[in-house]
Amino acid sequence: MVNNNTNNLNTILNNQSDALITFIQDFIQAEVNKHFKAIKIFYTLDEVSNITGISKFGLKNRAKKGIIKLNYNGNVVLMHKTELDRLINTITNKNTFS
């Protein structure tokens, strides 16, 4: 009987220990993710359109005119983060009233 109770207690403690370890690992990972987010380098035209409010057609048109630079990865059209930042600054400056 004592041996059976000891085994039950060990099982309970092991389960609780595993649950606690998992909880701590998840907590630490969530904290790390808050402070060290991956920096995105390239954005799709859909993402750029959502961020800037400029249609995909408008973005492609600006690229044809040489106003912005787009990158191509096969059939996928992308914009580099620095170009997106430049575009956002241009839009922001045009909409700023002094």
23 and 50 share one domain: no
Percent of the chain at pLDDT exceeding 90: 50
57 and 22 share one domain: no
| Mean pLDDT of the 46-64 span | 95
Residue of higher predicted confidence among 95 and 25: 25
pTM: 0.58
64-81 pLDDT, tens digit each: 999 999 999 999 999 999
Quick one: pLDDT at residue 55? 96
What string of DSSP letters covers the chain? Answer: -HHHHHHHHHHHHHHHHHHHHHHHHHHHHHHHHHHSPPPP-EEEHHHHHHHH---HHHHHHHHHTTSS--EEETTEEEEEHHHHHHHHHHHHHHT---
54 and 89 share one domain: yes
Its domain, for residue 84, covers 42-94
Q: Is the pLDDT of residue 98 over 50?
A: no
63 and 90 share one domain: yes
59 and 29 share one domain: no
